[in-house]
Amino acid sequence: MPRLGTRKLYYLLKPKLVELGIKLGRDGLFDYLRHQKMLVKPKISYTKTTHSKHWMRKYPNLTQDIQLNRPEQVYASDITYVQSHEGVHYLSLTTDAYSRKIMGYELSREMKTTDVVKALRMSIKARQSNEPLIHHSDRGSQYCASLYQSELQKHAITPSMTDGYDCYQNALAERVNGILKQEFLVHKCQSFDELKQLVKESVAIYNQLRPHLSLGMQTPEQVHKKASVEGTLA
């Protein structure tokens, strides 16, 4: 986790600091990292990956007033670009809105629906519940395509989409994109294959090791698994 935020870093370091008798608070760690010029600086970049002006059917936003109370209640999907020295590639992600766990992903050289649907199929395969599930995305042509919608229908998953091009209505997916790109995929790989391996490792670390402030410093895997043990996932 080369660009982990200081609050999360302190949470992970604190037990070791206590064990070694080192008195260092969170503000002290901030001051030390700032003095050493080691604070993470946010990266700002933008490449549009959504084409929403098309003739295919769009679906209403079903997530605006929803109360999340379990994993596998809402999946959020999005596509973002990533680069290697071979060029620009595209990463499709499907994330559980409750646990923040990345349930499915696919790195591709193009933004074809056949590639994007692979991330969906991985996320469906990873399900532990038969409870009703909403799939939320932007209005991109890949998500509106008959192939993608047929896959949702096949598994009785209800489609939901943003109202026009409004990234705030798919904020979770955008946030996960940003975490992977700003904290994990920080070095440009030599090849597509090398990048594919890095994405695989990054998703595993994100799910299993990276604490989330919004999850009470638990990892997505812990939250998802806890719901399964407690019977929230039926």
Question: What DSSP letter does each residue of 111-143 carry, written as one string?
Answer: --HHHHHHHHHHHHHT----S-EEEEE---HHH
Specify the pLDDT at position 99.
95
Q: How much is the pLDDT for 232?
A: 60
Q: What is the pLDDT along the chain (234 residues), one digit of tens a residue?
A: 777 777 778 788 888 888 888 888 877 777 777 778 777 766 655 455 555 555 578 899 999 889 999 999 999 999 999 999 999 999 999 999 999 999 999 999 998 999 999 999 999 999 999 999 999 999 999 999 999 999 999 999 999 999 865 555 678 888 898 899 888 888 899 999 999 999 999 999 999 999 998 899 999 999 999 887 776 665
Q: Nearest 5°: CA angle at 77, between 107 and 55?
A: 100
Position of tokens 């008798």?
A: 21
Single-letter code of the amino acid located at 9 = L
CA dihedral 14, 19, 20, 23 (to 10 degrees): 50
* C-alpha–C-alpha distance, residues 196 and 184, integer Å: 13
Distances (CA, A) of 5 to 11, 39, 65, 129: 10, 8, 30, 33
pLDDT at 167: 56
Name the CA radius of gyration of the chain, rounded: 19
The sign of the CA dihedral 21, 23, 29, 34 is negative
Torsion region of 156: left, alpha or beta (phi above 0 gives left; psi -120 to 50 gives alpha): left
- Helices 113-125, 146-154: crossing angle, 10 deg rounding: 10
Domains of the chain: 6-35 (no CATH), 74-229 (3.30.420.10)
Number of residues written out for the chain: 234
d(CA 108, CA 114): 10
| Buried b / exposed e along 67-98 (16+ C-beta atoms within 10 A) | eeebbbbbbbbbbbbbebeeeebbbbbbbbbb
Task: Look at residue 166 in the predicted model and tell me its pLDDT.
Answer: 56
Beta strands in 24-109 (DSSP E): 74-84, 87-96, 102-108
